Structure 1
């Protein structure tokens, strides 16, 4: 009887321990997490893996990563609750604005919030043996276009516009994912690809017989930048000094973005988000040397505005505590949140108008585009 009682008590204690959140320092995390990221070979996947490893070491939290090469593939599991955090790129902006794939009736503006977003750069990676020295030289060359990935495609479209080019001026190579786009350049099936400079696959290109260059976007070219930002106005000139084929002595003139941005829905529990960003901060010393990009996950950089969506209250609470979030950030956040709420109310009004006017499902995208343009601009 004593043995049975001891066994039962032991089992009860083990069950309780398993149910409790992992704890180290002040941050508390659940025993397991599931994250959606860009596909294998992307810098976002590598960085998420490094941070997941740090969470495992510090808190005993087991993180599973679901990679996907498409915007819908990363956001759908977040929307359905299958994953708790999405590591997103500019599809976050498109999802909040109900643009491109997110203009579909089953999507619409998504009420998303940022936890943190690493400052990043993006440019046109060029196979050195392709004879391309400028954006203008891409005319007639093979350029990947990724299915269901407006985040990458809009960046490529904007860079082409820098030299007065469009998709009609290049040989489009349709690919299923971001990773496939980069691999196509390595394998000789494409000549260029839009990418963040720290993507793992680009180091493979750098060391391959093809080699790597970056098509420059010189900031003094005002006409080029006017054309680029007419496609997407959230890009700005930047000089990259880290990445494949890039160094302090050989910088690249490309543009600035935030990627990846750790993202949740607005209704995510404030305390859970607070503990997540605290854990991100507490484990920084463990993962900061994982790649050339991971030092930028310091919250002094990754916890500031602007970004592609408003920040979550749980994140803001922690950022205020550590002195990162200031009145300037709050003012930006209030304005961005008001914009998102306006887009959401406009979507509702457009949906009612479409119903009153018997707009067919096939005509909805054009109807929403016109309604949105009038109401929001």
Structure 2
């Protein structure tokens, strides 16, 4: 069921609309994860802040599927999506999007809160570094490429692949997270506050987070080659951590606010400006919303390139760096190459059976990436 939120009605009715609000559309539609998710809660908090400060009416359209979140943005029925790793997958035409109906899509990021992700093990499993996971039981989730691919990237950090571990597939995310407590697996990869991990921390097996040292350049290069959307992050909120204790993890962007590449730069500029100016109104909405500060959320890496309208504002604020610009140009080049390859590939192969079509597109993707590296 679609749940609708209209915000700022009182302010509009009274005509109390600050001048800055004229830069924003009076109404917007955002897509987000399902009700109860962190993505929905954060989108709601930001929408409330926009309504209070600017009198903007925002309707949030939740969906439990990546397709349900992306389609409204790509068809123009939603202005922005509060997305996760599906934004990277759809930019590459990966997994669910490696079909003639989808393929690579031209999305741009506005901003994205860092969300940490790491390898976690039972303390008695004998794993202290990623490389120690060799030969151990790894909990993966059926039909969840977002989690599984991030875990493959972390294994690469330690010089491993899935061939070096015993992959145990679990039917649900919750089952995979509970597997270590039940001694059905030795490690998995996940966000640090998953409820089942608190149970692991209190169990006889205990819990250990495996560090991803930011100074390990070789490890980070290997991780990036598998999934180029994560960066080093010091996390202090995690199951089993004591007050003041931190762990070196990876961070991806969740939620990442994305829109179509051809969306007006002026509209996007106004959006990210409003996101910045309302920060004090929403920063305490959840335990991690302080990470929407543009010093953290306005810099790459992200799932897709940053929009020119966002970059304009970030430059004005002194946040956008030469390093960020170099990353963005490289990411645009990669996305443009995928889009061009798809234009050639699709008409020549769309009559193939689905599995064969996807397999051939995977080969084409690899050719594209190799051409960019040469």
User: What TM-score, normalized by structure 1, do the two folds share?
Assistant: 0.76
Q: Deviations 1:168-206 (Å, cap 9, x if unpaired)?
A: 71321022xx6x468756996976553333x57468658
Q: CA deviation at 1:53?
A: 3.0
Q: Which residue of 1 aligns with 2:96?
A: 101
Q: CA deviation at 1:95?
A: 1.6
Q: Retained in 1: the 8 A contact 2:140–2:169?
A: yes
Q: CA deviation at 1:222?
A: 7.4
Q: Which residue of 1 aligns with 2:282?
A: 287
Instruction: State how far apart, in whole Å, the 2-side matches of 1:35 and 1:311 are.
Output: 18
Instruction: State how far apart, in whole Å, the 2-side matches of 1:190 and 1:47 are.
Output: 34
Q: Retained in 2: the 8 A contact 1:111–1:265?
A: yes
SS at match of 1:261: strand
1:365 has 2:358 as partner? yes
Q: Retained in 2: the 8 A contact 1:140–1:169?
A: yes
Q: Retained in 2: the 8 A contact 1:35–1:65?
A: yes
5 Å-filtered alignment, 1:31-180, equals 31-37=27-33, 40-41=36-37, 43-60=38-55, 61-68=57-64, 70-126=65-121, 131=125, 133-134=127-128, 135=130, 136=132, 141=137, 143-147=139-143, 149-161=144-156, 162=158, 164=160, 166=162, 169-175=166-172, 180=174
Q: CA deviation at 1:340?
A: 1.4
Q: CA deviation at 1:140?
A: 5.6
Among 347, 361, 374, the alignment partner of 2:367 is 374
Q: Deviations 1:287-327 (Å, cap 9, x if unpaired)?
A: 22233422221112222233221222322232233333355
SS at match of 2:319: coil
Instruction: State how far apart, in whole Å, the 2-side matches of 1:187 and 1:29 are.
Output: 50
Among 228, 233, 239, the alignment partner of 2:234 is 239
Q: Which residue of 2 aligns with 1:262?
A: 257
Instruction: State how far apart, in whole Å, the 1-side matches of 2:70 and 2:228 are.
Output: 23
5+ residue gaps, structure 2, are: 1-8
5 Å-filtered alignment, 1:179-190, equals 180=174, 184=178
Q: CA deviation at 1:156?
A: 1.7
5+ residue gaps, structure 1, are: 1-13
Q: CA deviation at 1:110?
A: 0.7
Instruction: State how far apart, in whole Å, the 1-side matches of 2:180 and 2:41 are.
Output: 19
Q: Retained in 2: the 8 A contact 1:124–1:194?
A: yes
Q: Deviations 1:87-141 (Å, cap 9, x if unpaired)?
A: 222322222122222222211111001111223321134566x757545459564
Q: Deviations 1:346-371 (Å, cap 9, x if unpaired)?
A: 1111124336xx64444211221222
Q: CA deviation at 1:212?
A: 5.1
Instruction: State how far apart, in whole Å, the 2-side matches of 1:103 and 1:160 are.
Output: 25
Instruction: State how far apart, in whole Å, the 2-side matches of 1:67 and 1:186 are.
Output: 30
Cα distance change, pair 231–375 in 1 and its aligned pair in 2 (3 A): closer
SS at match of 2:258: strand
Instruction: State how far apart, in whole Å, the 2-side matches of 1:370 and 1:218 are.
Output: 32
Q: Retained in 1: the 8 A contact 2:69–2:81?
A: yes
Q: Retained in 2: the 8 A contact 1:124–1:215?
A: yes
Q: CA deviation at 1:155?
A: 0.6
Q: Which residue of 1 aligns with 2:20?
A: 26
Q: Which residue of 1 aligns with 2:3?
A: none
Greater Rg over alpha carbons, structure: 1
1:339 has 2:334 as partner? yes
Q: Which residue of 2 aligns with 1:251?
A: 246
Cα distance change, pair 224–324 in 1 and its aligned pair in 2 (3 A): closer
Q: Retained in 1: the 8 A contact 2:120–2:210?
A: yes
